[in-house]
Amino acid sequence: MFDAGLPTIRAMSVPAFPIDASAAGAALGQGFFMGAGLIMAIGAQNALVLRQGLARAHVGPTVLLCVLSDWLLIMAGVYGLGSLISGSPTALEWLRWGGAAFLAWYGVVALRRAIAPVHGSLQAAGAVSSLRDTLMAAAAMTYLNPHVYLDTVVLLGSVGAQHRGDARAAFAAGAGLASLAWFAALGYGAAAAAPWLQRPQVWRAIDAVVAAVMFFVAWQLLARPLM
């Protein structure tokens, strides 16, 4: 009787949810490139990190605050909004088409900037602010910017909702890695890259990459249902 029951015990020990490495790898890449595309466009937050890097003042704390804030918003989107909408096929379809439309519009805007750049040169001008004032400014530019919630929480959350289990975690990790890489490069590479950052063609190239990523992810959303 003991031997007869042993196979049943062994069968029950097999994991019910095996890890799909290929799906997780694809989600990691999608999260990284989508996160990079959304964060690379120059804005108030990025400009602040660049100025701190050019001035070599409070770079580490500023980068850390921006990265941790981005991670918090990514997790809120992918696991908060994503979990909320993933159980509603109607919501997923609305977000599928709405997200694709927004991404396409975002890509068009970036493409227009690449064709006719509007970026000015970034200088490390003015007196250096205190650490407290710098972090307060970085926090305000992060949490008081409605585009942050639209891009990071709503858009990343809606795309992350199409993934399940390990793939969803990989998507969030990819977006988080893009945030870490971008802010670290802005803060610590600003002084070394200053001669290039003064060139409009550099920002044109960045915007061209952003446009390509946005168009590609929009196509992905349209080509595959979020189910």
pLDDT at 69: 94
CB 177 within 8 A of CB 34: no
CB 65 within 8 A of CB 135: yes
184: which residues sit within 8 A by CB, 6+ positions away? Answer: 63, 67
| 142 closest CA partner among 50, 64, 216, 70 | 70
pLDDT digits (tens, 9 = 90+) for 151-199: 788 788 878 877 877 888 899 999 999 999 999 998 998 777 767 766 7
pLDDT digits (tens, 9 = 90+) for 30-71: 888 888 888 876 566 787 788 788 778 899 999 999 999 999
- B/e letters for 17-45, b = 16+ CB within 10 Å, e = fewer, are eeeeeebbebbbebbbbbbbbbbbbbeeb
